Amino acid sequence: MMISNPIVGFQQAYETSSQILSRIHGQGQKLFGYFCTYTPVELLVACGYLPVRIMGGRGKAEQCYRLLPEFICPFMKRSLERAMNGEYHFLSGIVQSYSCDAVCGCQAVWKNNFPDMSLYSISLPYNSNPQAREFYIAEFKNFIEKLGQPYDPCFQEKLRQTNELYRHVRQAVLNLFDSAQSGFLDISAEEKWYAVQAGFVIPPGQYLELIHRMIQQKKEIPAGQKHSIPVIVSGSEIGHPDILTYVEKTGGRIVWDDHCTGIRSFEPAEGSGDDPMEQLADRYVKRSPCASRSRAEDRWLRWEKKLHHADVQGVIFVLQKFCTPHLSDIPYFKEQLKKRGIPAIVVEMEESWEVSGQIRTRIDGFLDMVQGKNG
């Protein structure tokens, strides 16, 4: 069925992903799960799999407490909850790339409780020197070998084509965000969120088509909206867009984001190198850093550029409760922002992703304060 409005298509794809993916699986397509956007999905596609990002979303966490402690992020709780409810039955395997201690440990829990699922790990280096790049390539080759795929000329050609496809996908999403941030595409934070989420479950070729159609529906942001307060939203995985909608409804305009359900995983669109594996490694070495794999200072370099260009007046950190990588970086970021006179607030979300009265009050107060401060 052709859906004329791509935003509706994205939302439907996300909300009915289990059914869609079950159907795709029933048609003979092999599906492979991954948790983190550091996973080289290109390898999975080139090996014939459809990569599916395992997401927590919002909902209850009940059964998972049989296997997990309470003090782990909602993302991991909910992912396991969904798996225990049979929502990921169609996956042939799962790969994790040491996103953080929680992901690594949870993968081990999955391994113990879903014995029919093959589970793999890719160890990604933290450095970017020549030895680290060589290690990236060796680790990627090791992974595809485990999937039974030799690194032969036929595979290299497939990987070259897949790299090219993902270059187009990422560039298209970057264009979409750029148009929205420059005021040439009237799209809400919620719509952007659905647009990104859909990309984690739709085959990349179809996704690219939908993104292109969305960009074509250009419509300038109404003048009134441009007067709202420019803010950054940062964190890890945002499990539901209600919190973003609330920020916008109360006078905020999200001019840039730094979270892994936003633009972060799309930058840069491609890597360079002599062969497709080198290009792939280069892309992942250079990708926009996440708190779990980098120093706060390395992330701050990106922030400085954005703060300069986007006239940011406030920052809202939307964190998953118990998220060690992001919680650890907060003091540094708040200190840097304070030096620039930019106020910041931290809200921690639980698995319901409910924008509680307390969170609403805090965001209201924060945006009032920012507005008052800037006249």
Residues that bind other proteins (CB under 8 A): 66-69, 71-72, 98, 100-102, 104-106, 108-109, 111-113, 121, 123, 125-127, 131-132, 134-135, 138-139, 142, 292, 295-297, 321-322, 324-325, 327-332, 334
What tokens were used for 320? 């998953």
Cβ atoms within 10 Å of 278's Cβ, excluding its own: 16
Tell me whether residue 166 or residue 322 sits nearer to other proteins (CB atom).
322
Long-range contact pairs involving 208-215 (C-beta distance under 8 Å, separation at least 24): 208/165, 208/168, 208/169, 208/172, 210/6, 210/9, 210/10, 211/6, 211/169, 211/172, 211/173, 211/176, 212/172, 213/6, 214/6, 214/7, 214/10, 214/176, 214/187, 215/172, 215/175, 215/176, 215/179, 215/185
Tell me whether residue 108 or residue 154 sits nearer to other proteins (CB atom).
108
What is the smallest separation between the CB atom of 335 and other proteins, expressed in angstroms? 8
Tell me whether residue 138 or residue 369 sits nearer to other proteins (CB atom).
138
Taking the C-alpha atoms of residue 367 and residue 153, their distance in angstroms, rounded to an integer, is: 56
What is the smallest separation between the CB atom of 368 and other proteins, expressed in angstroms? 22
What is the smallest separation between the CB atom of 136 and other proteins, expressed in angstroms? 10
Which stretch of DSSP H or E encloses residue 19? Answer: helix 17-26
Q: Are 51 and 122 in contact (CB under 8 A)?
A: no
Tell me whether residue 67 or residue 269 sits nearer to other proteins (CB atom).
67
What is the smallest separation between the CB atom of 236 and other proteins, expressed in angstroms? 12
Cβ atoms within 10 Å of 78's Cβ, excluding its own: 25
Tell me whether residue 307 or residue 319 sits nearer to other proteins (CB atom).
319
What is the smallest separation between the CB atom of 219 and other proteins, expressed in angstroms? 41
What is the smallest separation between the CB atom of 124 and other proteins, expressed in angstroms? 9
Tell me whether residue 3 or residue 67 sits nearer to other proteins (CB atom).
67
> Taking the mean position of all CA atoms in its chain, how far away is CA 203?
16
Which residue's structure tokens are 């290109």? 42
